Amino acid sequence: MQMRQCAFCGKMIAGHLNQCPFCREMVPQVPQLRLSRTSSGAGGGQIRRGLLYMLLAGVIYYFAAGYAKPLEIPITIQPAVVNYLAPLLFLGSLGLTLYGLILKAKS
């Protein structure tokens, strides 16, 4: 028996029914669509996230180190942010980007 999912309550109903027996809503008869994920984007999410975090680390370092003289931040930034945290964020995001590249190469 062919089953499909109700668009209103999400429960599985028989494919030939026009009305959901659980929520009593009329379910339209539409042709079956198969949505599948492609394997080409295996590491794409990690690569994009890693590059975005690398950009974030660069922006944090730029403003925290005092390179933006006309746009000074009104609060004081601890030296640990410039010396340790921003480079750590950059290196961690570089690792995430490399992990995404490895996942992409495997698929």
Written in H, E and C, the secondary structure of the chain is CCEEECCCCCCEEECCCCECCCCCCECCCCCCCCCCCCHHHCCHHHHHHHHHHHHHHHHHHHHHCCCCCCCCCCCCCCHHHHHHHHHHHHHHHHHHHHHHHHHHHHC
- Residue 91 CA to residue 85 CA, distance in Å, equals 10
**Does 43 lie in the same domain as 22?**
no
**Does 101 lie in the same domain as 54?**
yes
**Does 97 lie in the same domain as 62?**
yes
Amino acid code (one letter) for 83: N
The pLDDT of residue 38 is 54
**Does 96 lie in the same domain as 54?**
yes
Is the entire prediction scored with pTM above 0.85?
A: no
The pLDDT of residue 21 is 92
What's the total number of domains in the chain?
2
Using the predicted structure, report yes or no on whether residue 68 has a pLDDT greater than 90: no
- pLDDT tens digits along 23-62: 998 887 766 556 655 555 678 899 999 999 999 999 999 9
**Does 31 lie in the same domain as 48?**
no
**Does 29 lie in the same domain as 75?**
no
Which residue segment(s) compose the domain that 79 sits in? 39-106
φ/ψ region of 75 (left if φ > 0, alpha if ψ in -120 to 50, else beta) reads beta
